[in-house]
Each structure stands twice: as structure tokens, then as C-alpha cells.
Amino acid sequence: MVMSGKTGKSGKADARAARKARLAVALRENLKRRKQQARQRAVADKTADPSSQDAGTAGGGPDFRRNRGGE
């Protein structure tokens, strides 16, 4: 009877270890995906038209500056 108690604990330990390994793999894959997305965005930003990267509201978006009248 004592043996079944130990196997139950080792089963839980094995399940926890397997879950931890799965999560570690998923985390690494997620990090790789996010790095690749960031690289693609950086390339897209470099190839985009520099005039559209202006700090002003040339894109027609909302203007959130406080002092708009001093232009």
C-alpha cells in the first residue's frame, strides 16, 4: 500500500514536470514568433515612406497635443 502512495506522488511530480516542460517550449516558441514579428515591423518601418513617419498629424489621425493653436 505504501508503494501506491509513492507512485501517486511521482505521477503528480511527473505531470508537473511535463507541464513545466510544455510551458517552457511554448514560451520559447512565443518569444521566437514575437522576435520575428518585431524584425518584420522594423524592416517595414525602414521601407515605409519617411514623410508618413512625421511626428505631426499628416496622417489625418487625431491630434492629442495640448497647444494646437501655436502652429
In the structure grid, which three cell numbers stand for residue 11, read together?
505521477
- Predicted TM-score (pTM) of the model is 0.49
Query: Is the confidence at residue 22, as pLDDT, over 80?
Result: yes
Report the distance separating Cα 7 and Cα 66, nearest Å: 67
The least confident of 28-32, 34-38, 67-71 is: 67-71
Q: Are 52 and 59 in contact (CB under 8 A)?
A: yes
For residue 58, what are the contacts with CB-CB under 8 A and spacing of at least 6?
51, 52
